[in-house]
Amino acid sequence: MTAGQGKGGGRAGGRLVRRHTVWTRLTHWLWAVSLFFLMLSGLQVFNAHPVLHVGEESGFAYDNAVLAIGATGEGAAARGFIRILGAEFDTTGFLGVQQGTVQAIPAALTIPSYRSLAAGRVVHFFFAWLLLAVLALWLVAAAATGHLRDLVPTRADLRALPRDIADHARLRLRHGRGYGALQKLAYAGVLFVLLPLMILTGLTMSPWFNAWFPWTLDLFGGRQTARTLHFAVMLLLAGFFAVHMLMVLLAGPVNELRSILTGWYRIDPDQEGGAG
Ligand code: HEM
């Protein structure tokens, strides 16, 4: 917290302003819950074939794996490994082998926790359709309420970007009426790039979707590459989530949580007119 800041973030004496509409708050929590289930059920599905390929083919006859998680040896001697672009790292106890059980991703990180590709797929597809519907709802509501504009960086934002980066590096977080430059870029990156890419690469793995839109296979270079990209986007979203949580904590969790739950946000007294 910066000097003079109130307990819950936002400087003491700052005014409460209405920051988020009900649509922003509702869709935010629906996609947060959806992404939680999607990630853990996705790791269950990944466990059925914990190898990522680039290209059209997959299988023992092909040498196109970019990532593999597996195990060597048996019983107490079993060792877990992750192989990334040919470089192998021992991950015994976490990836590949956990307490004598040979499994790529540990049970604590999968839904369901027991091995079931079928159950994992049911959960995954349910939340994938829910996420698609929620994003469509967000887009319509954001266009109707003018919220789309809140996410597009203006020229002034881009000019202020170096200062915004320096302020974040020094943990000097301002509480303005709207999002700051970095926040806009991060949220727009998630909503307009990562989530659509996640959905499109997911659909590209489906044969019925390929039959309707064969160009998607050309776009991503085949189903296996689409699967690898799908996994990479999941890692980027997990990275975003970690930074997002850190920022919520640093910016003042009470003020931040109040805003995304009730819409009301306390701004700094010197930010009455400005953004971020
Ligand atoms: C996978 C999970 C999550 C994703 C992808 C995500 C993504 C986002 C995005 C894109 C926005 C901007 C929304 C908009 O303007 O329409 C946002 C806002 C926000 N999120 Fe999340 N979020 C996630 C989870 C969470 C969680 C668990 C919390 C709280 C503990 C949280 C707290 C907030 C807050 C406080 C804001 C508003 C920030 C502000 O007004 O300055 N988010 N989030």
Residue 271 in contact with ligand 1 by CB distance below 6 A: no
Closest residue by CA, ligand 1 atom 11: 187
Instruction: Please report the DSSP string for the chain in residue order.
Output: --TTB-TTSSBTTPPEEE---HHHHHHHHHHHHHHHHHHHHHHHHHHTS-EEE-SS--STT---EEEEEEEES-GGG-EEEEEETTEEEE-TTTSEEETTEEESS-GGGSSSSS--HHHHHHHHHHHHHHHHHHHHHHHHHHHHHTHHHHHSPPHHHHHHHHHHHHHHHTT-----SS--HHHHHHHHIIIIIIHHHHHHHHHHT-HHHHHH-THHHHHHTSHHHHHHHHHHHHHHHHHHHHHHHHHHHHH-HHHHHHHHHHSEEEPPGGGSSS--
Ligand 1 within 6 A of CB of 33: no
Position 56 scores a pLDDT of 79
Per-residue model confidence as pLDDT tens digits over 212-257 = 999 999 999 999 999 999 999 999 999 999 999 999 999 999 999 9
Domains observed in the chain:
16-50+114-271 (1.20.950.20), 51-104 (no CATH)
Nearest CA to ligand 1 atom 27: 32
Cβ(191) – ligand 1 distance below 6 Å:
yes
Q: What's the predicted TM-score (pTM) here?
A: 0.91
- Predicted confidence at residue 6, as pLDDT, reads 42
